[in-house]
Protein backbone atom coordinates (compact mmCIF):
# COMPACT_ATOMS: atom_id res chain seq x y z
CA UNK A 1 0.00 0.00 0.00
CA UNK A 2 1.36 3.41 -0.98
CA UNK A 3 1.96 5.98 1.71
CA UNK A 4 -0.96 8.30 2.44
CA UNK A 5 -0.11 11.95 3.17
CA UNK A 6 -2.58 13.75 5.46
CA UNK A 7 -2.54 17.41 6.40
CA UNK A 8 -5.43 17.85 8.85
CA UNK A 9 -5.80 16.84 12.48
CA UNK A 10 -9.40 15.73 11.99
CA UNK A 11 -8.64 13.30 9.17
CA UNK A 12 -5.55 11.94 10.92
CA UNK A 13 -7.44 11.26 14.15
CA UNK A 14 -10.26 9.61 12.25
CA UNK A 15 -7.88 7.28 10.39
CA UNK A 16 -6.05 6.21 13.53
CA UNK A 17 -9.23 5.80 15.59
CA UNK A 18 -10.63 3.58 12.85
CA UNK A 19 -7.47 1.47 12.86
CA UNK A 20 -7.54 1.06 16.64
CA UNK A 21 -11.22 0.13 16.54
CA UNK A 22 -10.23 -2.68 14.16
CA UNK A 23 -7.67 -3.91 16.69
CA UNK A 24 -4.63 -2.42 14.95
CA UNK A 25 -1.56 -1.34 16.92
CA UNK A 26 -0.22 2.13 16.06
CA UNK A 27 3.45 3.10 15.83
CA UNK A 28 4.29 6.82 15.67
CA UNK A 29 7.52 8.53 14.60
CA UNK A 30 7.48 12.32 15.16
CA UNK A 31 10.05 14.24 13.08
CA UNK A 32 10.89 17.71 11.81
CA UNK A 33 11.64 16.37 8.35
CA UNK A 34 14.78 16.42 6.21
CA UNK A 35 14.93 12.74 7.02
CA UNK A 36 18.05 10.58 7.16
CA UNK A 37 18.95 7.00 8.05
CA UNK A 38 18.47 7.73 11.74
CA UNK A 39 14.81 8.54 11.11
CA UNK A 40 14.56 5.52 8.82
CA UNK A 41 15.74 3.26 11.66
CA UNK A 42 12.91 4.56 13.85
CA UNK A 43 10.40 3.87 11.09
CA UNK A 44 11.70 0.35 10.62
CA UNK A 45 11.47 -0.29 14.37
CA UNK A 46 7.89 0.97 14.37
CA UNK A 47 7.10 -1.24 11.36
CA UNK A 48 8.38 -4.33 13.17
CA UNK A 49 6.29 -3.69 16.29
CA UNK A 50 2.99 -2.38 14.92
CA UNK A 51 0.24 -2.82 12.35
CA UNK A 52 -0.01 0.83 11.28
CA UNK A 53 2.91 3.27 11.21
CA UNK A 54 2.45 7.03 11.16
CA UNK A 55 5.25 9.56 10.87
CA UNK A 56 4.80 13.29 11.23
CA UNK A 57 6.78 16.11 9.67
CA UNK A 58 6.38 19.42 11.43
CA UNK A 59 9.08 22.05 11.89
CA UNK A 60 7.95 23.23 15.29
CA UNK A 61 8.45 26.97 15.76
CA UNK A 62 7.98 26.67 19.53
CA UNK A 63 11.34 24.95 20.02
CA UNK A 64 13.41 27.54 18.15
CA UNK A 65 14.75 30.62 19.90
CA UNK A 66 14.68 33.96 18.05
CA UNK A 67 18.34 33.61 17.00
CA UNK A 68 18.06 30.00 15.80
CA UNK A 69 17.53 28.53 12.34
CA UNK A 70 13.75 28.18 12.00
CA UNK A 71 13.47 30.10 8.74
CA UNK A 72 16.15 28.12 6.93
CA UNK A 73 15.84 24.75 8.65
CA UNK A 74 16.37 22.23 5.80
CA UNK A 75 13.22 20.92 4.14
CA UNK A 76 12.60 18.42 1.32
CA UNK A 77 9.10 16.94 1.48
CA UNK A 78 9.38 14.96 -1.77
CA UNK A 79 12.55 13.21 -0.61
CA UNK A 80 11.12 12.72 2.90
CA UNK A 81 7.97 11.12 1.52
CA UNK A 82 10.02 8.67 -0.54
CA UNK A 83 12.18 7.72 2.47
CA UNK A 84 9.14 7.24 4.69
CA UNK A 85 7.40 5.13 2.07
CA UNK A 86 10.50 2.97 1.56
CA UNK A 87 10.80 2.33 5.30
CA UNK A 88 7.29 1.16 5.99
CA UNK A 89 5.31 4.28 6.90
CA UNK A 90 1.58 4.02 6.10
CA UNK A 91 0.50 7.56 7.03
CA UNK A 92 2.56 10.74 6.76
CA UNK A 93 1.05 13.60 8.77
CA UNK A 94 2.27 16.95 7.42
CA UNK A 95 0.34 19.78 9.07
CA UNK A 96 0.90 23.48 8.54
CA UNK A 97 1.58 25.84 11.43
CA UNK A 98 -1.97 27.18 11.04
CA UNK A 99 -3.37 23.65 11.29
CA UNK A 100 -1.42 22.96 14.46
CA UNK A 101 -2.02 26.40 16.00
CA UNK A 102 -5.26 27.74 14.49
CA UNK A 103 -5.76 30.38 17.19
CA UNK A 104 -2.41 32.01 16.59
CA UNK A 105 0.22 32.34 19.33
CA UNK A 106 0.19 29.38 21.71
CA UNK A 107 -0.97 30.34 25.20
CA UNK A 108 -0.67 26.86 26.73
CA UNK A 109 2.74 25.29 27.23
CA UNK A 110 4.00 22.09 28.82
CA UNK A 111 7.09 22.41 31.02
CA UNK A 112 8.94 19.47 32.52
CA UNK A 113 10.83 20.98 35.44
CA UNK A 114 14.30 20.05 36.71
CA UNK A 115 15.23 17.45 34.08
CA UNK A 116 14.90 20.07 31.34
CA UNK A 117 16.79 22.90 33.05
CA UNK A 118 20.38 21.68 32.78
CA UNK A 119 22.68 20.81 29.84
CA UNK A 120 20.66 21.58 26.68
CA UNK A 121 18.14 23.46 28.77
CA UNK A 122 20.80 25.77 30.20
CA UNK A 123 22.01 26.73 26.73
CA UNK A 124 18.54 26.80 25.10
CA UNK A 125 16.17 27.77 27.95
CA UNK A 126 12.96 27.77 25.90
CA UNK A 127 13.73 24.67 23.86
CA UNK A 128 12.30 21.84 25.94
CA UNK A 129 9.05 23.64 26.71
CA UNK A 130 8.59 23.95 22.96
CA UNK A 131 9.42 20.27 22.46
CA UNK A 132 7.15 19.06 25.27
CA UNK A 133 4.27 21.25 24.11
CA UNK A 134 4.33 20.09 20.48
CA UNK A 135 4.97 16.43 21.36
CA UNK A 136 2.06 16.41 23.82
CA UNK A 137 -0.13 17.89 21.07
CA UNK A 138 1.05 15.28 18.57
CA UNK A 139 0.38 12.52 21.12
CA UNK A 140 -3.15 13.89 21.63
CA UNK A 141 -3.70 13.85 17.87
CA UNK A 142 -2.29 10.35 17.50
CA UNK A 143 -3.93 8.74 20.53
CA UNK A 144 -2.75 5.51 22.21
CA UNK A 145 0.38 4.29 20.44
CA UNK A 146 4.03 3.43 20.66
CA UNK A 147 6.20 6.46 19.85
CA UNK A 148 9.78 6.08 18.63
CA UNK A 149 12.61 8.52 19.38
CA UNK A 150 16.34 8.33 18.75
CA UNK A 151 18.74 8.35 21.68
CA UNK A 152 20.92 11.01 20.02
CA UNK A 153 18.70 13.64 21.63
CA UNK A 154 19.02 11.85 24.95
CA UNK A 155 17.81 14.68 27.17
CA UNK A 156 14.79 15.19 24.91
CA UNK A 157 13.99 11.49 25.29
CA UNK A 158 14.22 11.79 29.08
CA UNK A 159 11.97 14.87 29.08
CA UNK A 160 9.32 13.16 26.94
CA UNK A 161 9.38 10.01 29.06
CA UNK A 162 8.87 12.06 32.22
CA UNK A 163 6.08 14.10 30.62
CA UNK A 164 4.25 10.93 29.55
CA UNK A 165 4.58 9.45 33.05
CA UNK A 166 3.56 12.63 34.87
CA UNK A 167 0.52 13.31 32.66
CA UNK A 168 -0.58 9.66 32.20
CA UNK A 169 -0.45 10.00 28.42
CA UNK A 170 -1.36 6.62 26.85
CA UNK A 171 1.80 6.41 24.75
CA UNK A 172 4.66 3.96 25.18
CA UNK A 173 7.88 5.87 24.47
CA UNK A 174 10.51 3.69 22.77
CA UNK A 175 14.14 4.83 22.66
CA UNK A 176 16.19 3.61 19.69
CA UNK A 177 20.00 3.50 19.22
CA UNK A 178 21.95 6.35 17.69
CA UNK A 179 22.67 5.89 13.99
CA UNK A 180 26.12 7.11 12.96
CA UNK A 181 28.09 7.88 9.85
CA UNK A 182 31.04 5.59 9.08
CA UNK A 183 33.43 7.91 10.94
CA UNK A 184 31.27 7.99 14.08
CA UNK A 185 29.43 11.30 13.63
CA UNK A 186 25.86 11.02 14.89
CA UNK A 187 23.40 11.55 12.04
CA UNK A 188 21.56 14.86 12.21
CA UNK A 189 19.68 17.05 9.75
CA UNK A 190 21.92 19.95 10.79
CA UNK A 191 25.05 18.12 9.62
CA UNK A 192 24.25 19.55 6.18
CA UNK A 193 25.40 22.94 7.51
CA UNK A 194 28.98 21.68 7.95
CA UNK A 195 31.66 22.75 5.48
CA UNK A 196 33.98 19.95 4.26
CA UNK A 197 36.65 21.01 6.78
CA UNK A 198 34.14 21.18 9.62
CA UNK A 199 32.68 17.82 8.62
CA UNK A 200 36.14 16.30 8.94
CA UNK A 201 36.46 17.77 12.44
CA UNK A 202 32.95 16.92 13.68
CA UNK A 203 33.62 13.28 14.73
CA UNK A 204 35.72 14.67 17.59
CA UNK A 205 32.53 14.51 19.68
CA UNK A 206 32.40 10.74 19.30
CA UNK A 207 36.13 10.43 20.01
CA UNK A 208 35.67 12.45 23.21
CA UNK A 209 32.83 10.16 24.31
CA UNK A 210 34.92 7.09 23.51
CA UNK A 211 37.73 8.49 25.65
CA UNK A 212 35.29 9.04 28.52
CA UNK A 213 33.99 5.47 28.22
CA UNK A 214 37.58 4.18 28.15
CA UNK A 215 38.34 6.07 31.36
CA UNK A 216 35.32 4.47 33.01
CA UNK A 217 36.35 1.04 31.72
CA UNK A 218 39.73 1.60 33.37
CA UNK A 219 38.09 2.28 36.72
CA UNK A 220 37.34 6.00 36.81
CA UNK A 221 34.39 6.74 39.11
CA UNK A 222 34.86 10.49 39.57
CA UNK A 223 32.62 12.37 37.10
CA UNK A 224 34.98 15.36 37.18
CA UNK A 225 37.86 13.19 36.00
CA UNK A 226 35.80 11.68 33.19
CA UNK A 227 34.62 15.10 32.04
CA UNK A 228 38.23 16.33 32.05
CA UNK A 229 39.20 13.54 29.66
CA UNK A 230 36.31 14.36 27.30
CA UNK A 231 37.02 18.09 27.44
CA UNK A 232 40.65 17.63 26.50
CA UNK A 233 39.68 15.91 23.25
CA UNK A 234 37.37 18.76 22.22
CA UNK A 235 39.91 21.42 23.18
CA UNK A 236 42.48 19.80 20.90
CA UNK A 237 40.23 20.37 17.86
CA UNK A 238 40.50 24.03 16.78
CA UNK A 239 37.22 23.95 14.82
CA UNK A 240 35.17 22.75 17.82
CA UNK A 241 34.09 24.97 20.70
CA UNK A 242 32.87 23.00 23.72
CA UNK A 243 29.51 23.93 25.22
CA UNK A 244 29.40 21.21 27.87
CA UNK A 245 30.62 17.73 28.69
CA UNK A 246 29.00 15.74 31.48
CA UNK A 247 28.87 12.35 33.15
CA UNK A 248 25.39 11.94 34.61
CA UNK A 249 22.90 9.49 36.04
CA UNK A 250 21.06 8.10 33.02
CA UNK A 251 17.60 8.53 34.58
CA UNK A 252 17.84 11.90 36.36
CA UNK A 253 20.58 13.54 34.25
CA UNK A 254 22.10 14.81 37.50
CA UNK A 255 25.84 14.58 38.17
CA UNK A 256 26.44 12.10 41.00
CA UNK A 257 29.30 12.31 43.47
CA UNK A 258 30.42 8.85 42.34
CA UNK A 259 29.57 7.14 39.06
CA UNK A 260 27.44 4.07 39.77
CA UNK A 261 24.78 2.13 37.89
CA UNK A 262 23.52 3.42 34.54
CA UNK A 263 25.58 6.39 33.40
CA UNK A 264 25.24 8.65 30.38
CA UNK A 265 28.03 10.76 28.97
CA UNK A 266 26.72 13.92 27.29
CA UNK A 267 28.56 16.35 25.06
CA UNK A 268 27.73 19.43 22.99
CA UNK A 269 30.01 21.60 20.86
CA UNK A 270 29.77 24.27 18.22
CA UNK A 271 31.44 23.21 14.98
CA UNK A 272 31.09 26.08 12.55
CA UNK A 273 27.45 27.02 12.12
CA UNK A 274 25.78 23.95 13.66
CA UNK A 275 25.78 23.09 17.34
CA UNK A 276 26.30 19.33 17.58
CA UNK A 277 25.28 17.02 20.42
CA UNK A 278 26.08 13.39 21.17
CA UNK A 279 26.04 10.90 24.04
CA UNK A 280 27.06 7.42 25.06
CA UNK A 281 25.97 5.03 27.80
CA UNK A 282 27.95 3.02 30.35
CA UNK A 283 27.05 0.68 33.21
CA UNK A 284 29.05 0.92 36.42
CA UNK A 285 29.22 -1.96 38.90
CA UNK A 286 27.14 -1.59 42.06
Contact (CB, 8 A) for 28 and 142: yes
The reply to whether 101 belongs to the active site is no
> Pairing state of beta strands 240-249 and 261-271?
antiparallel
Of 39, 101, 127, 218, the catalytic one is: 39
As annotated, the active-site residues are 39
Amino acid sequence: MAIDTLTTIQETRARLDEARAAGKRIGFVPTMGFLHDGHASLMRAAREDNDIVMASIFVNPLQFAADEDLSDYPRDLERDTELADTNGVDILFVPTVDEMHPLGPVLTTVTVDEISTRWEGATRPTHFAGVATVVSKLFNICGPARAYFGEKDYQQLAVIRRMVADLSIPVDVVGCPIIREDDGLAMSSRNTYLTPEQREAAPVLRRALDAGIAAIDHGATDPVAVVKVMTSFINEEPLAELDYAAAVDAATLETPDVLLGEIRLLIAAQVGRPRLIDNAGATMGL
